[in-house]
Structure 1
Amino acid sequence: MDHVLEQAPGQEHDREDGCTPGQTVLPFVPGPRRARQAGRGRGGEAPARPAATGRRAGSGGTRGARTRRVPQVAPPTSRHGSALLRQAQEGLAEAATLDDPLRRYPAAYLSALRAAAAVLAVRARPQPRRGVTRNVWDLLAGVAPELGEWAAFFASCSATRAAAEAGIARLVSRRDADDLLRQAEQFVALVAADIPGR
């Protein structure tokens, strides 16, 4: 049905739509729909509630998994690495007290070897065995490229270390033992700065 409103005075004129002067015809505009009852759908059923997200749990008031903070625990490999590092530091202190180059050289080498093993304990991931045995220095260069030069240096000292353990004095001088001890001290200190959870 059309709604009729009165026109302002002084604006009457003949209409061709059959309306008398002084009337304005407006098109029919439907009123707002009646709001559905809260909690009801089209068929009278309550609409399904959205699934609870991780930020909010159900009616129990507990929080979702995303809001929980699990305390970080240092992995066992870090503790093992710290133990190896302590052994390396203790070995350096012992090597410094040894006067015999045949004993000082292997002790310094062993300390560096334990420090390298500490790095592997922290960084290395278990790999399937493929029948090829790699020494610690090769593994160290793989997992810690920044220590690659140190790994190459100590790998080149392995033959002299074997000679010292065999008691071949002519192949191991006091200067060699002193130099290796200094290099081992620098290497162990470098590793100590990188090992977490000490």
Structure 2
Amino acid sequence: METANERYSLAHLAALRTAAAVLAVRGRPEPTPRRRQRIRSAWEVLPEVAPELAEWSAMFAAGARLRARAEAGIRDAVDAEEAADLLRAAGMFTRIVERMLVVQPLIRPQPGPETR
């Protein structure tokens, strides 16, 4: 049987992979100046490309520190209730994103000069 720490970590990872799918489909936010920016987490970028997921992003970003503690093996970093809550939230988030991506229109490439 998985521990609460393992369940929490796996649920958070599932949500992170779901966010990555949105970023892959929707693309990156508008380009920034040439100066190199700091690396940002998926949870920071997600609201820029999918504003409708901003609240979810904030919730999962808030749980990132707990996930790190759980993955580090810190005893009782999370309890069973916290793990169950995050599992439910990750499942709901995934279903919302699945529906969102299914209804997103397909972007067709524009014909280039060689195809005109």
1:119 aligned to which of 10, 14, 22: 22
Contact kept in structure 1, 2:23 and 2:46, CA below 8 Å:
yes
The TM-score normalised by the length of structure 1 is 0.47
| Percent identity of equivalent pairs | 48
Counterpart of 2:101?
195
Counterpart of 1:141?
47
The ranges of structure 1 where at least 4 consecutive aligned residues each deviate by more than 6 angstroms after the TM superposition are none
Extract unaligned runs of 5+ from structure 2: 104-116
In structure 1, distance between residues paired with 2:11 and 2:28: 27
Counterpart of 1:180?
86
1:163 aligned to which of 45, 56, 69: 69
Q: Which digits, 9 at most, give the CA deviation of each residue in 1:43-81, with x for residues without a partner?
A: xxxxxxxxxxxxxxxxxxxxxxxxxxxxxxxxxxxxxxx
Q: Which amino acid aligns with 1:107?
A: L
Q: Which digits, 9 at most, give the CA deviation of each residue in 1:22-52, with x for residues without a partner?
A: xxxxxxxxxxxxxxxxxxxxxxxxxxxxxxx
Question: Does 1 or 2 have the higher relative contact order (CA < 8 Å, sep 6+)?
Answer: 2
Post-superposition offset of 1:132: 1.5
What do you get for the CA RMSD once the two structures are aligned?
1.8
Post-superposition offset of 1:157: 0.1
Other structure's SS at 1:195 match? helix
In structure 2, distance between residues paired with 1:170 and 1:102: 7
Post-superposition offset of 1:154: 0.1
Other structure's SS at 2:92 match? helix
* Higher Cα radius of gyration: 1
The aligned length equals 100
Counterpart of 2:12?
109
Higher helix share: 2
Post-superposition offset of 1:194: 1.3
Post-superposition offset of 1:152: 0.2
